[in-house]
C-alpha cells in the first residue's frame, strides 16, 4: 500500500502537538477550577467580614445583624444556595443553620482570633464550599471569639471553570488548525526540492548518466542524491562493460564468420569430390572454433557484474572440481596426457556459496588450457585443499608455461601469448578471472613445482561461515 510522504510528515508533526495540547487542557482544567475557587472564596471572605462587622454585644449577649449586602454578594444567574451559621467558640448556636457541618480539621484545631479556614463539605445532598472565620469579641464579659460559617453551592464556580476551559479549548483548536495549515504549506514548500529533482530525472535522456550536483540541494537531501549518483555511476560502468563486450564480440566473431563464409564458397566451387571433402573438413574445423568462441562469449557474459546469475547456492567445490575433471578425462586420454585429481579430507567437507554453473565453467576452462598446452605424455594435476579460511583449487601442468612478463596480460580478453600455435580465442583466463571476482576470490599464476617447466594456476575462495 502506497503512502504519502507529505501526509506522514504532517501526522508526525501534529501528533506531538496534539499530545502537548491534551496535556495543556488537563492543566487548564485544574487551573480553571482553582481560579474559580479563588474568585468565589474572596466573595465568601468578604461576606464573612461584612457579617463580622455587624456583630455586637448588648446586655452581655451577642447580637448579630446580617447585612443585606453580605447576602447580595452571592446573587448571580445561577441558582446557588447560601447557608450561614454563627456560633460561640464552644459550638453554641447564635443564629443560622444549626446543622451546618464543620471540617474535621476545625474540630481538632480551634480557630484563633481572625483565623480563616476554607473547606468543602456535603450539606443537604450537595457539595458546598465553606468558610469559617473567628471574630474576636473585645468585651469584659469574656464571651470569646464568635465563629462565622458561610457555605455556598458550587454551580457558579463550576460554570466559571467551564467557561475558562471552553475558551482554552477554542484557543487550542484554533492553534491546532493554524499549525495544520502551516504544516501543509511548509510540507509543500519543503518537498519542492524533491519535485524539482523528479523533474530533472524525468527530463534526462536514457543514456544521460552524469551525476547530479549536490551543492544546490538541501543538506538533508544530499545523502539521497549521493546514493542516486552512486547508482548511476554503477549503471554507467555496467553499460560501459556491455558496450565493450558487444564491440569485442562483434570484432572477434567477424573474422571467423568471414572465414567460414569464404570456405563455404570455395567448397561450392570444387568439382572434385575429394577436394570438396577437404574444404568441408576445413569448414567444419572453422565452424567448431566459431562455436567454441560463441560459447566462451556466452560464459563471459554470464560472469559479468551486471549479469542476473544467482550466487546463493551452497555447494562442495571439491565435488564441482571432481566432476569437471571426470568430464575432461576422455580428452586427456585422447591426447595421451595423465590427468589426476587430489583432494584433502578437510576440503571434501567444506562448503562455499556461489554459482555452480560458473564454477564448473571455471574448472573446465583451467583444465582446457592445461590440456591444450601440454604435450603428449605430459601431466595435469588438480589439487583441492584448505589453507586457513580459504578453499584452494590448484591446476598444474608441465607445458611451456607463461613468461612472468605476460602473466598479467593473459587475463585480458582475446589476448594470446606471442609465438603460440595452439588453437584458442584468448577468453579462457578472462572468463576465469571474472568468475573469481564474482565469488570474491583470488587467482595467481606461478611456475610449476612438480616439473622443470609448466604453469601453476592457484585460485582461492572464501569459506562459508558456520
Q: Which fold has domain 313-462?
A: Heat Shock Protein 90 (3.30.565)
The three cell numbers of residue 328 are 575432461
At 204-237, the pLDDT tens digits run 777 777 787 777 677 777 788 888 888 888 877 7
Spatial distance between the Cα atoms of 297 and 125, rounded to a whole number of angstroms: 100
Average pLDDT over residues 153-159: 88
Task: Tell me: pLDDT of 430 over 70.
Answer: yes
Give the highest mean pLDDT range of 117-126, 206-215, 247-256, 301-310: 117-126
Q: Where do the CATH 3.30.565.10 domains begin and end in the chain?
A: 313-462
CATH architecture classification, 219-302: Orthogonal Bundle (1.10)
pTM of the model: 0.47
Task: Tell me: pLDDT of 1 over 50.
Answer: no
Spatial distance between the Cα atoms of 98 and 149, rounded to a whole number of angstroms: 11
The predicted structure's pLDDT at residue 391: 92
Task: Tell me: pLDDT of 95 over 80.
Answer: yes
The predicted structure's pLDDT at residue 308: 47
The predicted structure's pLDDT at residue 385: 93
Spatial distance between the Cα atoms of 455 and 399, rounded to a whole number of angstroms: 7
Q: Residue 54: which of 24, 86, 30 has the closest Cα?
A: 86
Give the percent of the chain with pLDDT over 70. Answer: 78
Spatial distance between the Cα atoms of 231 and 236, rounded to a whole number of angstroms: 9
Q: Where do the CATH 3.30.450 domains begin and end in the chain?
A: 5-161
Exposure string (b/e) for 235-267, b if CB count within 10 Å is 16 or more?
eeeeeeeeeebeebbeebeeebeebbeebeeeb
At 303, is the pLDDT very low, low, confident or very high (cuts 50, 70, 90)?
low
Average pLDDT over residues 341-364: 87
Task: Tell me: pLDDT of 263 over 80.
Answer: no
End-to-end CA distance of the chain: 38
Cβ atoms of 172 and 25 within 8 Å: the answer is yes
In a 3-state reduction of DSSP, which class is residue 416? coil
Average pLDDT over residues 170-193: 80
The predicted structure's pLDDT at residue 315: 87
Q: How far is C-alpha 184 from the geometric centre of its chain's CA atoms?
A: 25
CATH architecture classification, 5-161: 2-Layer Sandwich (3.30)
Q: Which residue has the higher pLDDT, 305 or 294?
A: 294
Spatial distance between the Cα atoms of 76 and 174, rounded to a whole number of angstroms: 31
Cβ atoms of 314 and 353 within 8 Å: the answer is yes
Q: Where do the CATH 1.10.287 domains begin and end in the chain?
A: 219-302
Average pLDDT over residues 184-197: 76
Q: How far is C-alpha 84 from the geometric centre of its chain's CA atoms?
A: 70
Where is average pLDDT lowest: 8-17, 30-39, 451-460? 8-17
At 385-409, the pLDDT tens digits run 999 889 999 999 988 888 888 888 8
Amino acid at each position: 500500500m502506497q503512502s504519502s510522504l507529505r501526509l506522514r510528515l504532517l501526522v508526525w508533526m501534529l501528533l506531538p502537538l496534539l499530545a502537548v495540547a491534551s496535556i495543556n487542557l488537563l492543566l487548564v482544567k485544574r487551573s480553571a477550577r482553582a481560579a474559580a475557587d479563588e474568585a468565589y472564596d474572596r466573595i465568601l471572605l468578604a461576606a464573612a467580614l461584612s457579617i463580622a462587622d455587624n456583630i455586637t454585644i448588648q446586655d452581655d449577649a451577642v447580637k448579630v445583624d446580617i447585612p443585606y449586602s453580605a447576602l447580595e454578594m452571592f446573587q448571580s444567574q445561577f441558582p446557588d444556595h447560601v447557608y450561614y451559621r454563627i456560633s460561640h467558640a464552644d459550638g453554641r448556636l447564635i443564629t443560622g443553620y444549626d446543622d451546618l457541618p464543620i471540617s474535621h480539621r476545625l474540630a481538632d484545631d480551634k480557630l484563633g482570633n481572625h483565623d480563616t479556614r476554607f473547606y468543602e463539605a456535603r450539606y443537604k445532598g450537595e457539595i458546598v464550599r465553606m468558610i469559617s472565620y473567628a471574630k474576636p469579641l473585645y468585651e469584659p464579659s469574656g464571651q470569646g471569639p464568635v465563629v462565622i460559617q458561610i457555605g455556598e453551592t458550587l454551580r457558579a464556580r463550576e460554570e466559571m471553570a467551564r467557561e475558562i476551559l471552553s475558551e482554552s479549548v477554542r484557543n487550542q483548536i484554533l492553534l491546532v488548525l493554524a499549525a495544520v495549515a502551516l504544516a501543509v504549506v511548509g510540507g509543500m514548500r519543503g518537498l519542492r526540492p524533491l519535485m524539482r529533482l523528479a523533474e530533472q530525472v524525468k527530463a534526462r535522456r536514457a543514456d544521460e548518466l552524469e551525476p547530479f550536483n549536490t551543492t544546490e540541494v538541501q543538506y538533508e537531501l544530499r545523502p539521497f542524491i549521493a546514493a542516486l549518483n552512486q547508482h548511476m555511476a554503477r549503471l554507467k560502468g555496467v553499460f560501459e562493460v556491455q558496450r565493450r563486450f558487444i564491440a569485442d564480440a562483434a570484432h572477434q566473431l567477424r573474422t571467423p564468420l568471414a572465414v567460414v563464409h569464404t570456405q563455404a564458397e570455395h567448397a561450392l566451387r570444387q568439382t572434385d569430390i575429394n577436394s570438396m571433402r577437404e574444404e568441408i573438413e576445413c569448414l567444419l574445423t572453422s565452424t567448431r572454433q566459431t562455436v567454441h568462441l560463441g560459447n566462451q562469449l556466452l560464459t563471459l557474459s554470464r560472469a559479468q557484474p551486471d549479469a542476473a546469475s544467482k550466487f546463493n547456492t551452497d555447494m562442495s567445490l571439491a565435488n564441482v572440481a571432481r566432476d569437471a575433471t571426470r568430464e575432461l578425462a576422455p580428452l586427456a586420454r585422447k591426447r595421451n596426457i595423465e590427468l589426476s585429481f587430489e583432494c584433502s579430507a578437510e576440503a571434501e567437507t567444506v562448503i562455499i556459496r556461489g554459482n555452480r554453473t560458473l564454477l564448473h565453467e571455471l574448472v573446465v576452462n583451467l583444465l582446457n588450457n592445461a590440456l591444450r598446452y601440454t604435450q603428449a605424455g605430459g601431466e595435469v594435476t588438480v589439487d583441492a585443499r584448505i589453507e586457513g579460511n580459504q578453499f584452494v583449487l590448484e591446476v598444474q601442468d608441465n607445458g611451456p608455461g607463461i613468461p612472468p612478463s605476460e602473466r598479467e596480460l593473459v587475463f585480458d580478453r582475446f589476448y594470446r601469448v606471442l609465438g603460440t600455435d595452439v588453437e584458442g580465442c584468448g577468453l579462457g583466463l578472462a572468463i576465469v578471472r571474472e568468475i573469481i571476482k564474482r565469488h570474491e576470490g583470488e587467482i595467481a599464476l606461478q611456475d610449476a613445482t612438480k616439473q622443470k617447466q609448466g604453469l601453476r594456476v592457484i585460485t582461492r575462495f572464501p569459506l562459508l561461515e558456520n
